Amino acid sequence: MNIHRILLISTAFLFAPREVTGSILNRNSKLCTSSDSCWPDSPAWIQLNASVSGHLVRSLPAAAPCHDPYYDADACAIASKSWGDSIWRSNQPGGYQDTAWENGDEPCYIDQPRNVTCQQGLVPIYTVAAESVQDIREAVKFAAKYHLRTRIKGAAHEFLGRSSGEGSFGIQTIKLKGITFNDTFVPDGCDATSQATVTVGAGEHFYDLNKQCDARRVVAVTGTSNTVGAAGGWLLGGGHSSLSPLYGLGVDNVLEFKVVTSDGQVRIANECQNPDLFWALRGGGSGFAVTTSATYKTHPYITSVLGLHMVINTTSDIYPTFLKTYAMLQPTLSDKGFSGYTSSSAPTTSMDLLQYNSDGNITKANMTFAPLFDLAAKNPDKMQISTLFGIVPSYFSIFPNSTEEGGAPLIIGSRLFPRSMFESEEQSEALARFFAQNNLNTTWHLVGGGKVNEPSPSDMGLNPSWRNALHHILIADSWESDTPIPERNAKRKRLTDNVQKMAAALVPNMGSYVNEADRGEPNWQTTFWGDNYARLLDIKMKYDPTGVLTCEKCVGYDVFGS
Ligand SMILES: Cc1cc2nc3c(=O)[nH]c(=O)nc-3n(C[C@H](O)[C@H](O)[C@H](O)COP(=O)(O)OP(=O)(O)OC[C@H]3O[C@@H](n4cnc5c(N)ncnc54)[C@H](O)[C@@H]3O)c2cc1C
């Protein structure tokens, strides 16, 4: 039995019928949650369930079947076996990749005993597990009618908690599948030259999109993950990829969205229809509408990818010098066509870099890293490098698995870094010193530069800092299911403090990538959207005038709350 598909009628006891009061009439009141008297009564939920063909579920945290009062031995066995499976988590109406945003600070973890009562945490109380655009329309109309705190959930990879919320109503889009290619696509209503495209349902994962593109011998810009949603939060926030220096961000590649707006209408957003909404959906983040599909440009097949995996161990005294040397190497790496990811936490730094359409000359590629090899050669007792090069025949080859690991808590914060930072010896030294002195666990995303820097900062709702960015650098922390709440709060505060200190010390004029950012950002409007925020807010007010699709730290949160 699937614990999440409990019929409403059997759970009605949890929510005694309540009279719907002024919230329907007063559009400016706070969004309605399950603890408010405006929360819909049982007949209303039953009516909604009928209007969405029985797709309304009582959503619970993913470990619920392993705990009282929801214990179910068979479902618990499945949950235990599937716990770390990211695709399984996406499919659960109450499952999230990052348990910090599933459970909040309430218990319902897989590794806790059955008699630890499962709490709802941040999982929406009821969720429409939509199977069609019509289900989405009904769900949105219901949310608007009752002015509900509403959360849209796709592949559930969220780092800021925007797809979950205490006492909320959920709309799950993961079942909206479909990948269709078109060699002569023209955006609806436009008089434009046709292009080769792929249209992707909101519930598709990157692995399946990449697999189908590979079979078609084309490439779409996708994130470096098998299981992030291919047309959900990734795209709405910007969508970086190791292909971005070559082909731009996700938002630079999308030609058209199909969405349901807060009035329940299906709309097309492209350069010719609802162009203001199209502008906002490209980087303005969540809360403008529910995306049901997106159409991307496709690119020529990639026939050779050089991959480099390098692990560098350093003693603490040479670590800052190594980091400075590596920082100063970034413009060269970018110019030679490398992109990818570096994790650094003293004493170990690990790089996974890619060079597309490589000529396969490993010796030449190796020479790019000469400054690091020179430093190691001069300091053999303090710095060791191990390197693995490989060449694979396609973009899809770098995605060997259809799923990946999820189900752990992670908090992150970030800033975008301009190329000029890495061109300056003084600033590279400052960066290295700051990371080393503060003992930070950093991940460097070399996904900017090139095509990412070509569009004008005001071309779309995206954070303008991207147009000047070479790197997106994250700092991160996590905890265990038994970490006491005060310790978690201390970690959250330390992360926010470190992000603010990093920004002030190194990049005071740059923003943060909204999809991989700290929910604690104090000046979030400017940090996530810079000068584009005012226009984004105008568009939000036009398409979601009662703020029913608003989430925390999303456009309009300052007006509507969440
Ligand atoms: C393992 C992992 C790898 C990642 N790799 C990358 C990467 O390579 N590049 C990158 O840029 N980012 C990456 N990210 C970050 C990713 O972009 C964000 O976590 C993003 O928010 C995930 O979107 P989602 O739809 O999967 O998640 P969800 O939690 O489902 O949604 C995230 C946000 O988007 C909204 N949303 C989702 N679907 C819809 C929809 N159909 N309509 C309207 N709103 C919707 C939600 O309401 C929420 O606000 C990664 C994250 C993880 C966990």
- Pocket probe for ligand 1: among 90, 97, 286, the residue whose CB has the most ligand atoms within 8 Å is 286
Q: Which helix (H) or strand (E) holds 539?
A: helix 533-543
| Angle 65-112-101 from CA coordinates, rounded to 5° | 75
Ligand 1 atom, smallest distance to 549 CA: 47
Q: Residue with the nearest Cα to atom 41 of ligand 1?
A: 291
State whether the beta carbon of 147 lies less than 6 angstroms from ligand 1: no
Is residue 101 within 8 Å of residue 122, measured between CB atoms?
yes
State whether the beta carbon of 539 lies less than 6 angstroms from ligand 1: no
Pairing state of beta strands 126-129 and 290-297?
unpaired
Is residue 470 within 8 Å of residue 362, measured between CB atoms?
no
- Pocket probe for ligand 1: among 128, 132, 151, 158, the residue whose CB has the most ligand atoms within 8 Å is 158
Q: How many CB atoms lie within 10 A of CB 121?
A: 24
In whole angstroms, give the CA distance from residue 18 to residue 40.
7
In whole angstroms, give the CA distance from residue 9 to residue 317.
65
Domains of the chain: 42-172 (3.30.43.10), 179-301+530-544 (3.30.465.10), 305-529 (3.40.462.20)
CA 158 to ligand 1 centroid distance, Å: 5
305-316 burial, b if ≥16 CB within 10 A, otherwise e? Answer: bbbbebebbbee
CA 95 to ligand 1 centroid distance, Å: 14
Q: How many CB atoms lie within 10 A of CB 517?
A: 25
Ligand 1 atom, smallest distance to 259 CA: 42
Report which of 350, 338, 348, 465 is spatially closest to residue 414, judged by C-alpha positions. 465
CA 372 to ligand 1 centroid distance, Å: 35
CA 403 to ligand 1 centroid distance, Å: 15
Report which of 163, 344, 140 is spatially closest to residue 260, judged by C-alpha positions. 140
Report residue 391 as tokens: 């060449």
State whether the beta carbon of 519 lies less than 6 angstroms from ligand 1: no
Ligand 1 atom, smallest distance to 153 CA: 30
CA 202 to ligand 1 centroid distance, Å: 11
CA 162 to ligand 1 centroid distance, Å: 9
Is residue 262 within 8 Å of residue 244, measured between CB atoms?
no
State whether the beta carbon of 158 lies less than 6 angstroms from ligand 1: yes
Q: Which amino acid appears at position 178 of this protein?
A: G
Ligand 1 atom, smallest distance to 554 CA: 49
Q: Terminal CA-to-CA distance of the chain, rounded, Å?
A: 34
- Give the torsion sign (CA, 378, 380, 383, 384): positive
- Tens digit of each residue's pLDDT, the chain (562 residues): 332 232 232 332 233 333 333 333 344 579 999 999 999 999 999 999 999 999 999 999 999 999 999 999 999 999 999 999 999 999 999 999 999 899 998 989 898 999 999 999 999 999 999 999 999 999 999 999 999 999 999 999 999 999 999 999 999 999 999 999 999 999 999 999 999 999 999 999 999 999 999 999 999 999 999 999 999 999 999 999 999 999 999 999 999 999 999 999 999 999 999 999 999 999 999 999 999 999 999 999 999 999 999 999 999 999 999 999 999 999 999 999 999 999 999 999 999 999 998 888 899 999 999 999 999 999 999 999 999 999 999 999 999 888 888 888 999 999 999 999 999 999 999 999 999 999 999 999 999 999 999 999 999 999 999 999 999 999 999 998 889 999 999 999 999 999 999 999 999 999 999 999 999 999 999 999 999 999 999 999 999 999 999 999 999 999 999 8
Q: What residues are paired with 413 via a beta bridge?
A: 475
- Pocket probe for ligand 1: among 206, 234, 277, the residue whose CB has the most ligand atoms within 8 Å is 234
State whether the beta carbon of 223 lies less than 6 angstroms from ligand 1: yes
CA 160 to ligand 1 centroid distance, Å: 10
